[in-house]
Structure 1
Amino acid sequence: MYRFLRIIVLLALVGGLGFWLLTRPTTEPESNLAGLEGDAARGEVIFYAGGCASCHAREGASGEEKLVLAGGMGFPSAFGTFYAPNISSDPEAGIGTWSALDLVNAMKHGTSPEGQHYYPAFPYTSYARADLQDIVDLHAFLQTLPADATPSKPHDVGFPFNIRRSLGGWKLLFLKDGWVIEDVEGPQLERGRYLVEALGHCGECHTPRNALGGLKTGEWLAGAVNPDGKGRTPGITPATLDWSAGDVAEYLSSGFTPDFDSVGGHMAAVVENTAQLSQEDRDAIAAYVKAVPEVAKE
């Protein structure tokens, strides 16, 4: 019996060590950023392409107030309610002391400067595909924005989802940096894929999720139940969206549909961002959306 107990204890220790190693937060080697200098002007484009203000500005903010990234917006889900943190340039409440490497680790690996896992309510599963130079440029732009001392609101997440270490296992399953649509032809579709799959993180809302919260990439952009369980985000594959590429690009610029309706809900904030992009980028997004596989989701 004593020998049996020793074996059980040994197996438990080995299993615990294996879990600890497999679920440890990942970081980017600092050497990968060697020679990269931040360009705030380019970073502004990344800021709008990534929709940063849509989540991190105060609810109800408008105009220049949307550049005050004090956080606080809540995102209800089946796992609890997550709150966007302060990412202003404030050195205490915000990310004013973050290096470009800190931002890279957050966006590409979901890892905080303290070495903790971030919850995937922060769409690092999409940002993982972002170019390092773009993140470095975004960091330079964020440092030019106003500081705000509002403390970040803690997430309202209960057991067992409040065990951050377990997110390491979730990342093993769902944090990938490969493209969802691997084969695209030409620079325009490549740019559109980058804007949709990486910076714009469109799939985070328009793609259904499984029971663990991972994206069902086999139903890419086919529409999904909203995370709070109320209503749906529509599908935007050619199976359900019969707009032309020109219609899509116009919608991303003006917010008007081909039927002369206007954008509403959360998509209004998205259009505020895409309207700041170049016409070439909006055309690239439209071309990509029209080129993805036709998937209809009831």
Structure 2
Amino acid sequence: MADHLLTELKDRVLYLTMNRPDKLNAMSAEMMGGLVDHLRRAATNREIGAVVLTGAGRGFCSGGDIRGMRERNEGAGAGASSAPQTVEDLVAGLRRGEDASLMLHEMAKVTIAAVNGPAAGAGLSLAMACDIRIASDAARFGTAFAKVGFSGDYGGTWSLTRLVGSAKARELYFLADMIGADEALRIGLANRVVPAASFRDEVHAIASRIANGPSVAYSYMKANLNAAINHEFNELLDREAWGQIMTGLTEDHREAVKAFLEKRPPTFKGR
């Protein structure tokens, strides 16, 4: 059986590719377990400067595997030999997978969703957990949960509310309509849209620029930007002051100042 998650490290960029193209990369236990494991390792790997999450084939991720849901539901009353899982077991299992969203949002490295095609349901939630969303002009976005009688998971309601505002998030969840890349850009769901023909090259140009940038400064920036969502202004001033002084002590800062005065690009080393 093919691996449900592919990995590649290129120019300090870790590519994590969801790999079930025949199912628009619908989630599987193997895929999500691998994603969580690789994100945890990437968080402390100094050879990785940025993480890109994308999908194989023509889709990003369609969310949960609907066929698998039907098989599970139809088998629930068929007298299976193994004891049924408790609600607590099911919740715990879902939460283990949801750690992928948590890692994408909280890890100290910049995370990028390269949305090459449809992103729906929990697949959209994963994309929204990333710091930046770059969309192909072939991409489409939708919450999808209402279409299958689910309420939503993987942090999507939290992320979408903060990205597009409460009113628009409610519309997108309740109606579950798919929207195109240009509309996603207009409402702030996507950061930029690029042509499908040059999509991978443009994603790599942005990702490698970040991956080879001042990683210590980025880690403080990301922590501050995350804190800005829920913290008061005075608390952010304290955090920013601390981070500014700490990054000012780095070799990267000294190199950047020297390079600026010498009118050349800096060479960052992540220390």
Whether the TM-score (by the shorter chain) exceeds 0.5 is no
TM-score normalised according to structure 1 size: 0.25
Identify the structure with the greater strand proportion.
Answer: 2
Identify the structure with the greater helix proportion.
Answer: 2
